Amino acid sequence: MTERCVVISCEHGGHEVPPAYAEIFTAHAALLNSHRGWDPGALLLARQFADALGAALYAASTTRLLIDLNRSIGHPRLFSELTRGLPRAERDNIVAEHYKPYRDAVEGEVARCIATGKQVTHIASHSFTPVLDGLVRRADVGWLYDPRQPAESALAQHWMKALAQRAPDLRLRRNYPYLGRGDGLTALLRKRFPGDAYVGIELEVNQRFVEQGGAPWAALQSDLVVALLTTLSAAPAPAST
């Protein structure tokens, strides 16, 4: 039976601006603090997953408005409207200093685990705004994965079921508010590694819990962590084929 290696990542964990680019963001404090600038609550939850599982944590606290670490090179939204007009040399420098080190670190950890014969379970922690472009998002927690990957489908289903048992009033959905097969770090890693070696899930939590704070947000964090622990302990990594 294959041993499991858990990797936790958080691509949009903060809204910090590197000093070299502070002038670009001077008049955009509100944008930086909005969901456009970061994923509130995602890093806190990622740390809890990592602590509970004893897993490696890779997290970024630089604003996604500088460069989006969850987009591929060449994607039209890799740079925001504040940075895509910068000279090519400056954009290349941002890629070299802020994008590649993070992406290479996560991919390197996955590769190291697989090289030792382990199956990787990668949880990427994200959060989403309750309302986007006037439309209310009708979910509290979403699991993004590739439905063509049986191990990803199974993990999402079992984790959702375990959470529903603990918190039956939550609205839980799969591949919502985005599709798991869309552009992102997990999508790239699925292309780099076989499905029996790499299992990647993007977890999306509604930011209304973070905004509300207090007992509901604390309970959701605890329930998500316990549900994941329950799921992984009940479902050993399958043997490699």
Q: How many CB atoms lie within 10 A of CB 81?
A: 11
Give the per-residue pLDDT at 2.
77
Residue 234: is its pLDDT beyond 90?
no
Residue 214, helix vs strand vs coil: helix
Summarised one tens digit per residue, pLDDT across range 177-204 is: 999 999 999 999 999 999 999 999 999 9
Summarised one tens digit per residue, pLDDT across range 68-101 is: 999 999 999 999 999 999 999 999 999 999 999 9
Alpha-carbon span 53 to 238, nearest angstrom: 19
CATH of domain 4-234: 3.40.630.40
Q: Give Cα separations from 127 to 114, 120, 140, 144 (angstroms).
A: 28, 22, 10, 12
